[in-house]
Amino acid sequence: MKPVSRREFLLTGAAAFAFSAVIFRSAQGWLADGQQYLGMGLAEPLNGKITPPPNDEIDPIAHTLNRLTFGPTPGEYSRVAKMGVAAYIDEQLAPESIENGRCNRALARFCDLWGEPLGEHYEEDDDALSPILRRVTTLRAIYSKQQLFEVMCEFWSDHFNIDPGKGDCRWSKPSDDHNVVRKHALGNFRDMLRASALSPAMLWYLDGHANEKRKPEDKANENYARELMELHTLGIHGGYSQQDVMEVARCLTGWTLRSKKKTGAIKSELFNLKKALSQPANWKPLNDRGEVYFQPQAHDGGAKTVLGQAIPAGLGEGDIERVIDIVATHPSTARFLATKLCKRFIADEPAESAVAAVAKKFTESKGDIKATLRTLFATPEFLSSAGGKMKRPFHYIVSALRVTNAQTDGDKPVLQFLEKMGQAPFRYPTPDGYPLEATAWHATLLWRWKFALALSNNQIGGTSIERAKLQRQLGGDTALMATVLNRRASAEEGDAFLKSGDGLALLLASPGFQRC
């Protein structure tokens, strides 16, 4: 098949959007369903002079914003131009210092639920928490000013992927998101790895809760041990053997949790019932579901050897600490993680020089994620990679909502577009997480065009943009195009914008916006 040229794409897209826009304008849409939310003032205040990117190519400011965020908002380029790229990176690496009131307002309705102890999550209906987790994650990506932090939360959620549809994960994944991913996203990798290994959700998802050796003939469950080395640390070509998998599985025997379906939970309910009958009215029951604990009687206490390192007999629950130390500091782990980080921030096939530099800093810093990212952002390969990556669907949709200064509730209509494109948060069924490479997402182009049309014409329920106001505040067509594309539009792009009948939709579906 003959490749489609950039000009052919633009001209064909212009005709298609002109036709489709007529259809959309004749529809009533779903906007009435979300009117109660649109008055919350979540759109970014655009005060003062807004300077769009002034160059024909993506400059270092726009490039930094493209890669460290889910897409800049209309006023972000001006702000970073004033403070400088280095200061902006410093700011993003210290998210706790960033005022985040707009995001907090967007999430206010979910605060009570998210503040509950894990055990109380088990009182929710089977399918109640996962949709809220997806919605909260989407709203954070759209409205948070702690953008690099949110980008890294997405990265680690894929790296330590858990499908909430399996067993107790439907109740425990929100806790995993808070206590593993968000707590350690810009912290230390070894700490995050340990937290993940003992996460109730991970113990359920990869069957660690069932990894027991009570009799001499019992064999350890290898599911988590294999993924720990293949996906979380060393990588599939990291130099471990099947014997190493078996030895790690032996080290991890005995760890389990009090689940909704296990005897421990039933005993707790009986205990609560007996106590409730004899206690004052204000007595609160013990809810220990989701609690992780170690069973010495179910642990293989013998000596083991993992990746050539001896682990003596009799350490008990200390075995897990030795395993985490061994795999977290292994040279293959540094290289595996460096490669994935470079794929996320530089290119689908990153240069060896960049991977080596990032792996070296990861090792020297003993897994310090901030230090590792600083090194990555300073590599020549990062600085010269502008416009070279295709946005994944989540990045694409969030960046479109951010650049149009949309107000949205992040509810089903937005999430349905993510479902159609194949990247709704926390819906990937296997432990490897959503792929980073562009080839996995080429089939999503049609739904991207449909989303661009729907957003441009206010046909997404619970979501609204003010096109005329945005265009006026930015200073007209030229500034709008530069803001969306992160550079000045080419003559062909400008011509297509004017002839399309729906210039904003065309911009949002153009190759220039779909790449970063």
As a whole number of angstroms, the distance between CA 136 and CA 134 comes to 6
For residue 275, pLDDT over 70 is answered with: no
Phi, psi at 41, each rounded to 5°: 70, 40
Split at pLDDT 50, 70, 90, the class of 111 is confident
pLDDT at 48: 66
Beta-bridged to residue 463, according to DSSP, are: 408
Long-range CB contact pairs, 261-267, < 8 A, 24+ = 261/167, 261/168, 264/288, 265/122, 265/289
Averaged pLDDT, 351-375: 98
Q: Compute the distance between CA of residue 14 and CA of residue 132 in angstroms, rounded to an integer.
A: 37
Say how many C-beta atoms besides its own lie within 10 A of residue 41's C-beta: 10
Contact 74, 50 (CB under 8 A): yes
Work out the pLDDT band at 280, boundaries 50, 70, 90: low
Question: Residue 94 contacts by C-beta under 8 Å, 6 or more apart in sequence?
Answer: none
Beta bridge partners of 292: 257
**Tell me: the pLDDT tens digits for 45-92?**
776 678 899 999 999 999 999 999 999 999 999 999 999 999 999 999
CB 249 within 8 A of CB 211: yes
d(CA 71, CA 93) in angstroms, rounded, equals: 17
What ranges in 27-127 are assigned the alpha helix state H? 60-68, 76-83, 85-92, 101-107, 111-114, 118-121
In this predicted structure, what is the pLDDT of residue 300?
98
Q: Is 498 left (phi over 0), alpha (psi -120 to 50) or beta?
A: alpha
* Amino acid symbol at 92: Q
Gap between the Cα atoms of 485 and 463, Å rounded: 22
Report residue 289's pLDDT band, with 50, 70 and 90 as the boundaries: confident
Share of the chain above pLDDT 90, in %: 80
Greater confidence (263 vs 438) lies with 438
N-term to C-term CA, the chain: 26
Q: How far apart are CA 246 and CA 249, in angstroms?
A: 5
In this predicted structure, what is the pLDDT of residue 287?
Answer: 59
359 residue type, one letter: A
12-50, pLDDT tens digit by residue? 454 444 434 433 433 333 333 333 443 356 877 776 678
Distance CA 212, CA 249 (A): 9
CA 349 vs CA 341, 374, 410: distances in Å? 11, 20, 33
Q: What's the rounded Cα separation, in Å, for the pair 157 and 180?
A: 9
CA–CA separation, 373 and 475 (whole Å): 36
What b/e readout covers 183-220, taking b as 16+ CB neighbours within 10 angstroms? ebbbebbbbbbbbbbbbbbbbbbbbbbebbbeeeeeeb
Q: What is the mean pLDDT of residues 102-130?
A: 87
Dihedral angle sign, alpha carbons of residues 315, 319, 320, 323: positive
pLDDT of residue 4 exceeding 70, the answer is: no
**pLDDT tens figures, 461-498:** 999 999 999 999 999 999 999 999 999 999 999 999 99
Residue 458, pLDDT > 70, answer: yes
Per-domain residue ranges for the chain? 6-81+388-514
**462 near 33, Cβ under 8 Å?**
yes
Give the pLDDT score at 286: 46
pLDDT in tens, 210-259: 999 999 999 999 999 999 999 999 999 999 999 999 999 999 999 999 88
Euclidean distance between CA atoms 351 and 32, whole angstroms: 50
User: What's the whole-number mean pLDDT along residues 177-191?
Assistant: 98
Spatial contact of 202 and 162, defined as CB atoms under 8 Å apart: yes
The neighbour count for residue 321, using CB atoms within 10 Å, is 13
pLDDT band at 140 (very low <50, low <70, confident <90, very high): very high
Alpha helical stretches, state H, 177-236: 183-184, 189-197, 200-205, 223-227
Portion of the chain with pLDDT greater than 70, in percent: 86
Report residue 405 CA to chain centroid gap.
Answer: 21
How far from the centroid of its chain's Cα atoms is residue 267's Cα?
37
SS3 27: coil
| CA dihedral sign of residues 2, 6, 7, 12 | positive
Find, among 227, 231, 225, the residue nearest to 249 by Cα.
Answer: 225
Q: How far apart are CA 74 and CA 52, in angstroms?
A: 8
Cα separation of 221 and 183, whole Å? 28
Confidence band, pLDDT 50/70/90 cuts, at residue 261: low
